[in-house]
Structure 1
Amino acid sequence: MVKEGGLFKSEGRILIWLSDDERKIPVKVNTKVIIGSIDAELKEYSGLNGPLKSKIE
């Protein structure tokens, strides 16, 4: 959960890329904060039932 205050403002946006399969797993996140920006990308995973069929390009 992201709370208002600190690095995060009440306005703005956060972009979340989801896998294009039925699981809709968050694979990438991008947002701007007061001191710059935050970019996160899923590098590995474990504990899923079956393979992840989506590709990150």
Structure 2
Amino acid sequence: MKFPLTDRPLKIILMHHIQSLREQLINTGMNEGINHEKTLQLSQQLDEFIYLYQSYEKQS
């Protein structure tokens, strides 16, 4: 997965993306239901970014 080059550290970019995905997941889950395909996809994406963040933390 590629991230845009910015002055902000990767950790901050990941944290912001994780927060955004959490908000999307909550909204979609409440509006579409927790078993809706879009909710499940967002949940999987969130899991992947949390894993990336944790991997980044271990390397730092």
Question: Which TM-score band (shorter chain)?
Answer: under 0.3
Structure whose residues are more often strand by fraction: 1
Structure whose residues are more often helix by fraction: 2
**Which structure: larger Rg?**
1
**TM-score (structure 1 length as normaliser):** 0.23
**TM-score (structure 2 length as normaliser):** 0.22
